Amino acid sequence: MSRSFDAPFVDSNEADILSNALKKGEKMTREKDELAWLKAEHHLRTLRRVSSPTSTTIELEGKKVLLFCSNNYLGLANHPLLKKAAISAVETWGVGSGASRLISGSLHLNQKLEEKLAQLKCTEAALVFNSGYTTNLGVLSAIIQKGDLILADRLNHASLIDGCRLSRGTFRVYRHKDMAQLEKLLKQRKTSQQTFIVTDGLFSMDGDIAPLPELVDLAERYDATIYLDDAHATGVLGEHGGGSLDHFQMTSPRIIQMGTLSKALGGFGGFFCGRRSLVDYLVNKARPFIYTTALPPSVLATGLAALDLIEKEPQIREQLWKNRAYFHKKLRALGFDTFESETPIIPIRVGESDKALAFSEYLLDHGLFVQAIRPPTVPEGTARLRVTLMATHRLEEMDTLLTQLEAGGKALGLL
Ligand SMILES: *Cc1c(COP(=O)(O)O)cnc(C)c1O
């Protein structure tokens, strides 16, 4: 049977029917064959129906559960000020944007949002894309050319991998945060080669932070550019919520970066930040920017409201970090392995996919939604539960999770 990189989403009952059909030797189409294989390997993914706003409690498949797997770190996705901004934008500007920004004109809200983003990231300019995913596809494929060298962290997000593939640069992977191996690869480059180091700022599945001071040092010594994906760090890390560079209190002309408005900022959309000439270049070269309809006005207004809010109310971010400190300490005291997590993304090591799924199901039975993360999203043998905390989680909610994690962990032999 074949394996594919990307797992599809189907109903699990369907998959049972499929594996039965397979046993009976019925003729299989390619996708049925693949689905049956995914099911057998415990890699099958399915969609679960939500019928409530996204908050710390949601209604999942008709049942109230505590949510511990959203990237809505600051709880802004359902914040009254953001909702108000979106509603008011709909009333003033309508619901759709009509065309690509290059075709029918660029709504002034785009420019306002870009100015604010450049300010947050301390860069000359910014460019809004329709999502973080298409930002990575668009920017990487536009700035990297055939023959260039790409050095990528082993745990980079799938959208970075896809952007690099699309660019047709020569792709090399270094072990997670292994600066010695990265330097070795830098030494092997041809001096004529433009070199790009591509990394997450805050790693989405491990919850640790890229060693940016060391990366910049290497980039300077070997004349490389760093492409930083700050999807999870924006609004979360740093005194001003500016992300990884704010966290290290550094800037560097060697670094260009992207982020998303869809995680801590609670809304939707992606963005690139860097020097003005690069932004002008991307407007001309980034195909996912050029050939897609611009974001709706309400989405742009939501982004603006979120940036305002994180500036004016740093206490929301402080609460997120208080929650993180409380929960992580208790989790470690129970004896769980949390990888190298140092942020509100807290993975709990399980190992095998079926066991991680069983743990997640156990928690769901007890009214707690924590996603199991399995290959191919993470390396084989490192399946895990991934807890993401929000500023809006209350102490009692975290305590409920801790109690059930302990019981479930013991039942599964992890503790
Ligand atoms: C979520 C994510 C993206 C994609 O951002 P979207 O706005 O959700 O498309 C890119 N990079 C990383 C590291 C992410 O976690």
Question: What confidence score (pLDDT) does residue 8 get?
Answer: 35
Provide the token pair at 95.
Answer: 């619901």
Return the bridge partners of 371, or none.
386
Q: Which ligand 1 atom lies nearest to the CA of residue 268?
A: 7
Provide the token pair at 152.
Answer: 């990528």
Residue nearest to atom 14 of ligand 1 (CA): 231
Question: Which residues approach ligand 1 with their CB closer than 6 A?
Answer: 131-133, 136, 157, 159, 200, 204, 229, 231-232, 260, 262, 270
**C-alpha closest to that of 71 among 312, 235, 228:** 235
Lateral strand order in the sheet of 383-388: 345-351, 383-388, 371-373
Q: 279-327 pLDDT, tens per residue?
A: 999 999 999 999 999 999 999 999 999 999 999 999 999 999 999 999 9
What residues does each domain of the chain span? 57-75+314-411, 79-312
- Ligand 1 pocket test: which of 204, 237, 261 has the largest number of ligand atoms within 8 Å of its C-beta? 204
Question: What confidence score (pLDDT) does residue 17 get?
Answer: 58
pLDDT > 90: what percent of the chain?
89
How many residues are present in the chain?
415
CA of 409 to the centre of ligand 1 (A): 30
Asked whether the bond before 376 is cis by omega within 30 degrees of 0, the reply is yes
Tally of helices (H runs) and strands (E runs) in the chain: 15, 13
Residue 79 annotated to the active site: no
Q: 148-185 pLDDT, tens per residue?
A: 999 999 999 999 999 999 999 999 999 999 999 999 99
Residue nearest to atom 7 of ligand 1 (CA): 132
pLDDT confidence of 19, banded at 50, 70, 90?
low
Measured CA angle at 87 (ends 82, 93), to 5 deg = 120
CB 71, CB 262: distance < 8 Å: yes
Distance CA 345, CA 69 (A): 9
Within 8 A by CB and 6+ apart from 313, the residues are none
Q: Residue 32 gets which letter from DSSP?
A: H
Q: Which ligand 1 atom lies nearest to the CA of residue 157?
A: 13
Catalytic site residue from 79, 121, 232, 328: 232
Question: What confidence score (pLDDT) does residue 9 get?
Answer: 38
Q: Which ligand 1 atom lies nearest to the CA of residue 261?
A: 7
Q: Residue 265 gets which letter from DSSP?
A: T
Catalytic site residue from 263, 298, 328, 353: 263
> Cα-Cα-Cα-Cα dihedral of 358, 362, 365, 366, to 10°?
-160
CA of 22 to the centre of ligand 1 (A): 36
Catalytic site residue from 97, 131, 204, 298: 204
Provide the token pair at 255.
Answer: 């670094």
Give the C-alpha distances (Å, rounded to integers) separating 293 from 162, 270, 283, 290, 363.
21, 14, 14, 8, 41
**C-alpha closest to that of 294 among 126, 76, 82, 127:** 127
Q: Which ligand 1 atom lies nearest to the CA of residue 260?
A: 7
Task: Report DSSP letters for 224-250, one per residue.
Answer: EEEEEE-TTTTTTSSTTS--HHHHTT-
CA of 192 to the centre of ligand 1 (A): 32
Residue nearest to atom 11 of ligand 1 (CA): 231
pLDDT confidence of 131, banded at 50, 70, 90?
very high
Q: What is the 3-state secondary structure (H, E, C) of 64-89?
A: EEEECCCCCCCCHHHCHHHHHHHHHH
Kindly report the pTM of this predicted structure: 0.92
The domain 79-312: what is its CATH number? Answer: 3.40.640.10
Provide the token pair at 252.
Answer: 């560097």
Question: What confidence score (pLDDT) does residue 87 get?
Answer: 98
Chain Cα centroid distance, residue 308: 22
Residue 204 annotated to the active site: yes
CB 57, CB 78: distance < 8 Å: no
CA of 30 to the centre of ligand 1 (A): 29
In this structure, of 15-19, 125-129, 195-199, the range with the lowest mean pLDDT score is 15-19
Q: 221-242 pLDDT, tens per residue?
A: 999 999 999 999 999 999 999 9
Question: What confidence score (pLDDT) does residue 1 get?
Answer: 32
335 by DSSP, 3-state: which?
coil
Among 3.40.50.300, 3.30.70.1400, 3.90.1150.10, 3.50.50.60, name the CATH number for the domain at 57-75+314-411: 3.90.1150.10
pLDDT confidence of 43, banded at 50, 70, 90?
confident
Distance CA 110, CA 127 (A): 8
290 by DSSP, 3-state: which?
helix
Mean pLDDT of the chain: 94
Residue 263 annotated to the active site: yes
CA of 71 to the centre of ligand 1 (A): 10
CB 202, CB 71: distance < 8 Å: no
Distance CA 148, CA 76 (A): 40
Residue nearest to atom 5 of ligand 1 (CA): 132
CB 348, CB 405: distance < 8 Å: yes
Residue nearest to atom 8 of ligand 1 (CA): 132
State yes or no: pLDDT of 246 exceeds 70. yes
Q: Which ligand 1 atom lies nearest to the CA of residue 200?
A: 13
Question: What confidence score (pLDDT) does residue 16 get?
Answer: 64
Asked whether the bond before 288 is cis by omega within 30 degrees of 0, the reply is no
